[in-house]
Structure 1
Amino acid sequence: MPTIFDYVTAPAIAAYVTNNPSNNIPYMGATLFPPKKKLGLDLAWIKGARGVPVSLQPSAFDAKATLRDRIGFQRIETEMPFFREAMRMGEKDRQELLKLQDNSNEQYIMPLITQIFDDRAQLVAGAQVIPERMIMQLLSSGQIRITANRQDYDYNYGFSGSHKETLTGTAQWSDPNSTPVEDIQRWKRVINQGTGATLARAICTEKTWGYLMAHPAIRLDMNPIGGQNIIMTDALLRAYLQNKLGITVAVYNKIYALQDGSTHQFFPDDFFTLIPAGNLGNTWYGTTPEEADLMAGATAAEVSIVNTGVAITTIKEPHPVNVETIVSEIVLPSFETMDTVFIAKVA
């Protein structure tokens, strides 16, 4: 007769997560920074750079940053932060499953198994939130700050101050006297004249998009005779920005929840980030201790890898009879195209 150890295994949970349709819908960050895997903890990448080289400096992390002279390039090395969270099967679930084992009909067992798998899948979903938060911090501030669970990391990617701008007073897009079209044209010129790159895309939230939807200057430009009478739609504004400025805007409003139940947007309101076409970097996954030391199968633990570098580990505990599920990852994005991105705080 199957036991709980036969049902709740790392390969079974991994297969459940992989085959879940929601797992096939990537976050925006994953499409801009495709995932890649490397061995170990160290992360190194080549970044196109101009001027004085800079290195990453975690404020509360044992990082090693070395600089190697290369003509026209700089090589940055640092260490990737480690994330791990675990979940034990609840006493009630365990007792329910033990009772159901007396029934040979699996239709009574599988709903409880599915519920257990759904709980574990939430740990994996939480693991996917981490790189997305990192990427959206990069695209709205040029750096990554992680403060949680008594850990404090500050990854300063050395984003150029000349590729950032904060609008104030009547220049803010929430003000009808502002000039958002001219602002975008100016930011495109800054990048093009400095790097030769063409900014073809932009990211903002629904609130920031609303400034453009309601802006009188844009309405008047679309219809000089009766601009205020235009029934503005997303499609109209997208077509206008594409024709006028050659940019495609992604309105990104996805949210995540913290342990305290509060919800937050991945990308902040009042920011407008211009980016070039193509990939912006990579999301690098390192080798977790579970993958490095437990995957060989010499212990009571089983390990499976999902989503490129997220390790699912199940550990059998004979007393009390239990299965602990651990989800861990070592992850940090690289940002090779950093010099061809412009970040603006518009309100």
Structure 2
Amino acid sequence: MTRVEELFSPQAILNYVKNREQTPMLGDILFPETKIEGLDFKMIKGANNLPVSASIHGFDTETEIGSRDGISYSVEELALIKRKIKMDEKLIIQLNFPRSTQEETQAINQIYNDVDNMVNSVKTRIEAMRMEVITTGKLNINENGVKTSIDYGTPKVQQSTTDWTSTDAKILEDIYNWTDKVVQNVGCTPTRAVTSKSVLNLLLTNMAIRKAVFGINADKLLTKDMLNQLLSSMDLPEIATYDSQYRTQGNDGKYVVKRYFEDGKFVLLPEGKLGDTIYGLTAEEIELRGKSDTKIESFGNIVAEIYSTKDPVARWTKAVATCLPSFPYADQIYIAKVK
């Protein structure tokens, strides 16, 4: 057995991935993670939570039969997400024949850094899916030969385009009307909003909002905290911004910088979680479960492993998951595109 196999056994890598500390992303909060034993799951669309009244009956009469009007289901297959990186020959030599303890430690740290990067790559793609779902109400996948589209059921009447570039734009009126639209349609009151910094700046420079906060002293500097205090006093959703970015890499090796949350979107959200991040089984996990030296309870949502290929001879660090966000509360949001 080589040093690589000794130091990075399947069990050691599984334990590392499951126990490593990581900062939650916005999608982790809005779509908590859960795992199923399979690849397909039954997804609820348009789950209207308004209660339905029972009817008064006469004695000795049959009970009224209920229905699930307004709720539809679709069986979706989880998306396979994976990425790998090759160990260079120099690193393999350092691990098997280290010239010093320091050199060995550096080589080991490099491998675990590769594990982190591959796992983060999978998490990045999942976060991009969750934010696409929030900002569009849909998920469109067209990469590596996979082409699919899911419409989560956000009503068209709860989507619009508006122009807030004018300093006298009626922004507060728009937010009030959008909130009221959701209340009227599904009986749910949005309590928070997510947007980009560019849209937030439009609110902070809007004259009507500044006058609502400062009165005649509208030339004062308005902050997000002050804005949210005003919105809270008006029973309107408070605002948070999300401007984090990530990169994709094309077949030519070039990188493209993208945003998780689309710039210019202003999305009203209900209280609580929006759905779940559904993880399932992978072929890699099935293979590892069959080995006597791995424990099933060690498997997390993302599986990482180090393996070798014979032709050409190489060693790889790979992370893989099957995943898809569910979004049963898609009918309780409002999506606005701000110009």
- TM bracket, shorter-chain basis: 0.7 to 0.9
Deviation of 1:19 after TM superposition, in Å, equals 4.7
Measure, in 1, the Cα distance between the counterparts of 2:229 and 2:221: 14
TM-fit CA distance, 1:321:
6.6
8 Å Cα contact 2:118-2:317 kept in structure 1: no
Cα distance between partner residues in 2 of 1:198 and 1:152: 35
Instruction: Give the CA deviation at 1:149.
Output: 2.3
Equivalent-residue separation in structure 2 for 1:107 and 1:92 (angstroms): 15
Question: Equivalent residue for 1:330?
Answer: 322
- Equivalent position of 2:180 in the other structure: 189
Q: Which residue of 2 is the match for residue 148 of structure 1?
A: 143
Whether 1:346 and 2:338 are equivalent positions in the alignment is yes
Q: Which residue of 1 aligns with 2:97?
A: 99
The alpha carbon displacement at 1:140 in A equals 0.6
The CA distance in 2 between the partners of 1:213 and 1:11, in whole Å, is: 52
1:304–1:313 contact (8 Å) kept in structure 2: no
Tell me the distance in 1 between the aligned counterparts of 2:78 and 2:175: 34
Q: Distance in 2 between matches of 1:128 and 1:307?
A: 16
Q: How many residues align?
A: 317
Aligned to 1:282: 276
Match status 1:199 vs 2:190: yes
Are the equivalent residues in 1 in contact too, given 2:308–2:315 (CA < 8 A)? yes
2:59 alignment partner in structure 1:
none
Q: Are the structure 2 counterparts of residues 78 and 174 from structure 1 closer, same or farther at C-alpha, using a change threshold of 3 Å? A: same
Partner of 1:8: 8
- Aligned residues of 1:10 and 1:302 also touching (Cα < 8 A): yes
Residue by residue over 1:81-108, the C-alpha shift from the partner in whole angstroms, topping out at 9 and shown as x without a partner, is 11222223211211222330xx5x6343
Question: Which structure has more RCO (C-alpha within 8 Å, separation ≥ 6)?
Answer: 2
Q: Is the deviation greater in 117-126 or in 306-315?
A: 306-315
Answer whether contact 2:43 2:76 (CA < 8 A) is retained: no
Q: Distance in 1 between matches of 2:300 and 2:133?
A: 21
The alignment-based identity, stated in percent, is 28
Q: Unmatched 5+ residue regions in structure 1?
A: 51-68
Deviation at 1:158, TM superposition (A): 2.9
What SS class does the counterpart of residue 191 from structure 2 fall into? strand
> SS at the partner of 1:188?
helix
Q: 1:314 aligns with which of 299, 306, 317?
A: 306
How far, CA to CA, are the matches of 2:160 and 2:282 in structure 1?
38
> Cα 1:187–1:319, aligned 2, differ >3 Å: closer, same or farther?
closer
- What is the deviation of 1:150? 3.1
SS at match of 1:258: strand
- Residues 306 and 145 of structure 1: CA distance in aligned 2, closer, same or farther (over 3 Å): farther
Distance change in 2, residues 1:123/1:95 (3 Å): same
What do residues 36-76 of structure 1 show as CA deviations (whole Å, max 9, x unaligned)? 100111121334447xxxxxxxxxxxxxxxxxx84453222
Q: Using the alignment, how far apart are the partners of 1:9 and 1:210 within structure 2?
A: 51
Give the superposed CA RMSD: 2.5
Does residue 1:248 correspond to 2:238, yes or no?
yes
Between 178-187 and 301-310, the greater mean CA deviation after superposition:
301-310
Runs of 4+ aligned residues of structure 1 deviating over 6 Å after TM superposition are 301-307, 318-321
| One-letter amino acid of the structure 2 residue matched with residue 12 of structure 1 | A
Q: Hey, what's the Cα distance between the residues in 2 that align with 1:178 and 1:303?
A: 60
Q: How far does residue 126 in structure 1 lie from its aligned partner after superposition?
A: 0.6
Give per-residue Cα distances to partners, 1:168-226, cap 9 Å, x unaligned.
xxxx1122231110000001111111111111000001111111111111001112212
- One of 236, 261, 265 as aligned partner of 2:255: 261
Question: CA contact under 8 A between 2:10 and 2:288: conserved in structure 1?
Answer: no
Q: What secondary structure does 1:267 align onto?
A: coil
Q: CA separation in 2, counterparts of 1:339 and 1:72?
A: 10
Q: Per the alignment, do residues 134 and 307 of structure 1 end up closer, same or farther by CA in structure 2, a change over 3 Å counting? A: farther
Alpha-carbon shift at residue 116 of structure 1 (Å): 1.5
1:119 is matched with which residue? Answer: 114
Unaligned runs of 5+ in 2: 49-66
Q: 1:153: how far off?
A: 2.3
Could you tell me how far 1:308 is from its partner in structure 2? 4.1
Distance 1:247 1:307, change over 3 A: farther
2:176 and 2:236 in contact (8 A); partners too: no
How far, CA to CA, are the matches of 2:299 and 2:224 in structure 1? Answer: 33
Distance 1:339 1:138 in 2: 12
Alpha-carbon separation, structure 2, partners of 1:268 and 1:305: 37
Is contact 1:202-1:247 (8 Å) kept?
A: yes
Contact 1:11–1:303 (8 Å) recurs in 2: yes
